[in-house]
Structure 1
Amino acid sequence: MNVPFDGVGSADPESPTTAESTAHDETPDQAPAVKKIVVVNAGTGEPSSTGMLADRTVARVLTLADKRGVAVEARTINLRNIASDIMVAITTQHVSPDLQQASDLMRDADGIIAATPIYKAGASGLFTAFFQVLDNDLLIGTPVVLGATAGSARHSLVVDDQLRGLFSYLRTITVPTSLVSSPDDYNTGDFGKRVDRAATELLALIEAGFRETVRGDSWNSYQHSFGSAGGSEFGIDFDSDLMRMATGGK
């Protein structure tokens, strides 16, 4: 899915807007930029405990943003709706319009909440496959909250042991607090405090402009492979006369 990291605008999501908060003190001359959060839900049920965890986390982020006067909108990608498209992309390299739309949302996200169920001491294959088909440079510098749901507390280390490595490879910045919930955690005060902490960490990174700073000041310092960001990784102008001549075009 070779698309520039700085493409204009976001694609409309497959699912409707999850929530939106706007600043109270907007002026006609200078409205604050709306920050975009994308929720990646790998739950397969409707409803699912994974989706409930993701919704709870994004709701807390939006509440904190509203209190701090930060304009934020959130959108959700339900991976079960594009599961077949992800598998086709892995096996044939063909990217469907729906999968491209999801990729565009991820490209433009100022922050991500990624939640997966845990199966047999590992993250969902659907979850990992989705991130494996994304271009390597798509998420550089993007703040991420990692969340997972499990049947018991025995799986509490899966996020830190397995998922942080994947997101480090994608060169995201994962917040220090990970969220792993089992059925016993849903109504406990301690888990609610962890959700508050993770939401605060994500919002702090978004407010500080971490992603924009990294991409603006350090983009050329990262190792890029050709095509990993649609050619923009090297600043190549494919519409120049020289490039058209090199490819036999006019």
Structure 2
Amino acid sequence: MKLVVVSAGLSVPSSTRLLADRLTESTVRRAPGTDVEVIELRDLAVEIAHNFVTGFPGPALESALESVAGADALIVVSPVFSASYSGLFKSFFDVIDKDALTGKPVLIGATGGTGRHSLVLDHALRPLFGYLRAVVLPTGVYAASEDWGAEGLAERIERAAGELVALTAPREEAASAGVPAQDRGDGPAGTTGGAPRTVGSIEDRPLGTGSLKDRVVPFEQQLAALKVR
């Protein structure tokens, strides 16, 4: 599995990067052999701004965008600014291709100075990645200043990492078995490759003895039987 970690922390050291590292370590422990790439957005801030003005990404930004598009899964963590994700975090995902995250599992995380901002996960990050058609994990991880070293944070990290590995494992098994991407269920629930798919329709089922189509009674026959009675 190729895992790309996007950290929008600005300081060094950064609690945002610390949370990203904790989530990554827990994921890799469950999925040995995972190829991990960490993208620090503060190193790309100038190129992101230039991209908005010129319409073209610089070399470092282009490489980061390609890594995100080619990842099997993402871990994304932003600090909280004004009760939402940071402008740098949003700007990075504004310049990425609109289809790059379709069907891609994303573990969301955020850090802040107070627990009062914990709803940023559901009010800001989850809608953003839902709009980008990513598959956002049920468990997001928010870490306030008082959470570090306190009870509960480690459990949330472990639960989120477990969900990420559980979601990506079937994809890895399908890929190793040579299953085409469009048949792996890489799109959102109920789709493959991002396109709607009808599962188990009568036309798709075999017509051998005992098949569903053999057991289907046309509506006209059912109506006629009712009239006879």
Which TM bucket (shorter chain)? 0.7 to 0.9
1:169 Cα deviation after fit: 1.1
The residue type paired with residue 24 of structure 2 is V
SS in 2 for 1:38: strand
The residue type paired with residue 11 of structure 2 is G
After superposing on structure 2, the runs of 4+ consecutive aligned residues of structure 1 that deviate more than 3 Å are 214-217
SS in 2 for 1:105: helix
1:92 Cα deviation after fit: 2.1
SS in 1 for 2:31: helix
The residue type paired with residue 172 of structure 1 is A
Structure 1 pair 121/62, CA: closer, same or farther in 2 (3 Å)?
same
Give the counterpart of 1:151 among 103, 110, 113. Answer: 113
RMSD, aligned α-carbons: 1.8
SS in 1 for 2:9: coil
Query: Match for residue 110 of structure 1?
Result: 72
Query: Match for residue 21 of structure 2?
Result: 55
Work out which structure has the larger RCO, using CA pairs closer than 8 Å and 6 or more positions apart in sequence. Answer: 1
1:90 Cα deviation after fit: 1.7
Distance 2:108 2:195 in 1: 26
SS in 1 for 2:6: strand
Over the matched positions of the two proteins, sequence identity in percent amounts to: 39
TM-score, normalised to structure 2, is: 0.76
The residue type paired with residue 55 of structure 2 is Q
Contact 2:48–2:61 (8 Å) recurs in 1:
yes
The residue type paired with residue 99 of structure 1 is L
Query: Match for residue 174 of structure 1?
Result: 136
Distance 2:186 2:105 in 1: 12
Give the counterpart of 2:154 among 178, 192, 212. Answer: 192
Which segments of 5 or more consecutive residues in structure 1 lack a partner in the other structure?
1-34, 223-250
Distance 1:59 1:221 in 2: 33
Structure 1 pair 220/162, CA: closer, same or farther in 2 (3 Å)?
closer
Distance 1:91 1:38 in 2: 26
TM-score, normalised to structure 1, is: 0.70
Query: Match for residue 8 of structure 2?
Result: 42
The residue type paired with residue 39 of structure 1 is V
Contact 2:108–2:140 (8 Å) recurs in 1:
yes
1:220 Cα deviation after fit: 6.6
The residue type paired with residue 143 of structure 1 is P
SS in 2 for 1:145: strand
1:46 Cα deviation after fit: 1.3
> Could you say which structure has the higher helix fraction?
2
Which segments of 5 or more consecutive residues in structure 2 lack a partner in the other structure?
176-180, 197-229
Q: Does 1:218 align with 2:192?
A: yes
1:189 Cα deviation after fit: 2.7
SS in 2 for 1:209: helix
User: What is the correspondence of 1:2-17 to structure 2 with a 5 Å cutoff?
Assistant: none
Contact 2:110–2:142 (8 Å) recurs in 1:
yes
Contact 2:73–2:168 (8 Å) recurs in 1:
yes
SS in 2 for 1:113: strand
Larger radius of gyration: 2
